[in-house]
Amino acid sequence: MYKQIIDTIKKYDKIIIHRHKNPDLDALGSQLGLREIIKDNFRDKEVYAVGDMNDFTFLGSMDIIDEDIYKDALVIVTDVAVSYLVSDERYKLGAYIMIIDHHLNSSDFGDYQHIDSSFISCAQIIADMAEVNNLVVSKNAATALLGGIITDSGRFLYPSTSAKTLRNAAFLMDNGASMNYIYDNLYVESLNFKKLKGHFINNFKTTKNKVAYMKNDDAIKEQFGVSTFTISRGMVNQMSGIKGIPIWVNFTLDDDGYIQTEIRSKTISVVEVAKKYGGGGHKLACGCTLANWADTDKVLKDLDSLLE
Ligand SMILES: [Mn+2]
């Protein structure tokens, strides 16, 4: 298993690993975990990880590299399969591009795609690949990969968390992964962030059939001094876990004037609605980008009618 990935890694002397913009812990965990695994198992390779960074620096840091390193290099892209979401456009300069992802989206780039949506996180795919190929996994690599599994599984709470998810996590623990280190970093937050959560809990609205939603313009970003991403992805689940609310949506105006839309659902598939508006993702966690506020009402109407 994973023969094509391993064979491709063996073929190249230089490997540069990319992942999606605004990285979550799975994007970073899969990227940094893979960087360490390649370094430890294929010692003659030069391996780099590149992309934009945010607050998740506790997993590791990015490499700053020149464009000429891409010459004859293998580019591996983790946790994303659509080109416009890839962080650092130079990925296109690679001699060969290989994608490792677990999202449902069909891919629009790359020379080889390993996409398996039966995995809850991309880091889990990397862990599984390491295990079945008897690769050395250092403590740091194991912790980075475990971080991806913990967060993409919602701390092992999402319904798609399976025995296999736990087995792959156990493999990482056997290799020294520190679960405490991940949780210690995940559960600390600033006072400002806590207040932002309070703002969400106190102000979200619901439709006729109890789709919860928030519409966030620039005022909230200014009030709390946070990014679009912190509001959009970071706050959507403040509306989760509420009795009688099966679907929740977060609309956030971004810096380019578009409305970033994050849709979540407890059991009913909502990805078709995201796809209808040009987006995608998972059945119960997906998103799209809207051009104007009028479209947010259309999305709400479509989601509301799923509950008729
Ligand atoms: Mn992921």
pLDDT at 104 (0 to 100): 87
CB atoms within 10 A of CB 195: 11
CB atoms within 10 A of CB 291: 11
Q: State the distance from the centre of ligand 1 to the C-alpha of 191, rounded, in angstroms.
A: 28
The reported pTM is: 0.76
* % of the chain with per-residue pLDDT over 90: 95
Q: State the distance from the centre of ligand 1 to the C-alpha of 121, rounded, in angstroms.
A: 5
Q: State the distance from the centre of ligand 1 to the C-alpha of 76, rounded, in angstroms.
A: 15
8 A C-beta contact, residue 248 and residue 258? no
Please give the single-letter amino acid code of residue 72.
D
Please return the burial class of 180, using the count of CB atoms within 10 Å of its CB with bins 0-12, 13-18 and 19+: exposed
Strands 259-265 and 285-290: antiparallel
Q: State the distance from the centre of ligand 1 to the C-alpha of 252, rounded, in angstroms.
A: 21
Q: State the distance from the centre of ligand 1 to the C-alpha of 244, rounded, in angstroms.
A: 28
Q: State the distance from the centre of ligand 1 to the C-alpha of 307, rounded, in angstroms.
A: 28
The residue among 96, 32, 88 whose CA lies nearest residue 65 is 88
pLDDT, one tens digit per residue, over 175-229 is 999 999 999 999 888 899 899 999 999 999 999 999 999 999 999 999 999 999 9
Q: State the distance from the centre of ligand 1 to the C-alpha of 46, rounded, in angstroms.
A: 25
Please return the burial class of 91, using the count of CB atoms within 10 Å of its CB with bins 0-12, 13-18 and 19+: buried
Please give the single-letter amino acid code of residue 236.
V
Q: State the distance from the centre of ligand 1 to the C-alpha of 228, rounded, in angstroms.
A: 19
Q: State the distance from the centre of ligand 1 to the C-alpha of 122, rounded, in angstroms.
A: 5
Q: State the distance from the centre of ligand 1 to the C-alpha of 119, rounded, in angstroms.
A: 9
CA dihedral (166, 160, 123, 114) positive or negative: positive
Q: State the distance from the centre of ligand 1 to the C-alpha of 276, rounded, in angstroms.
A: 22
Q: State the distance from the centre of ligand 1 to the C-alpha of 97, rounded, in angstroms.
A: 19
Which residue in this structure is represented by tokens 């002397």? 13
Instruction: Show the tokens assigned to 221.
Output: 């970003």
Q: State the distance from the centre of ligand 1 to the C-alpha of 208, rounded, in angstroms.
A: 32
Distance, C-alpha 5 to centroid of its chain: 21
Q: State the distance from the centre of ligand 1 to the C-alpha of 79, rounded, in angstroms.
A: 5
Q: Please enumerate in sequence order all residues whose Cβ is within 8 A of that of 250, keeping only pairs 6 or more positions apart, or say none.
A: 213, 214, 216, 231, 232, 235, 236, 239, 261, 262
Instruction: From residue 174, give the alpha-carbon distance in Å to each of 38, 47, 144.
Output: 19, 25, 14
Instruction: Find the mean pLDDT for residues 278-286.
Output: 95
Domains parsed from the chain with CATH numbers:
3-186 (3.90.1640.10), 191-305 (3.10.310.30)
Q: What is the rounded distance in angstroms from the CA atom of residue 232 to the CA atom of residue 16?
A: 29
Q: State the distance from the centre of ligand 1 to the C-alpha of 19, rounded, in angstroms.
A: 10
pLDDT, one tens digit per residue, over 42-99 is 999 999 999 999 878 899 999 999 999 999 999 999 999 999 999 999 999 999 999 9
pLDDT, one tens digit per residue, over 283-295 is 999 999 999 999 9
Q: State the distance from the centre of ligand 1 to the C-alpha of 117, rounded, in angstroms.
A: 10
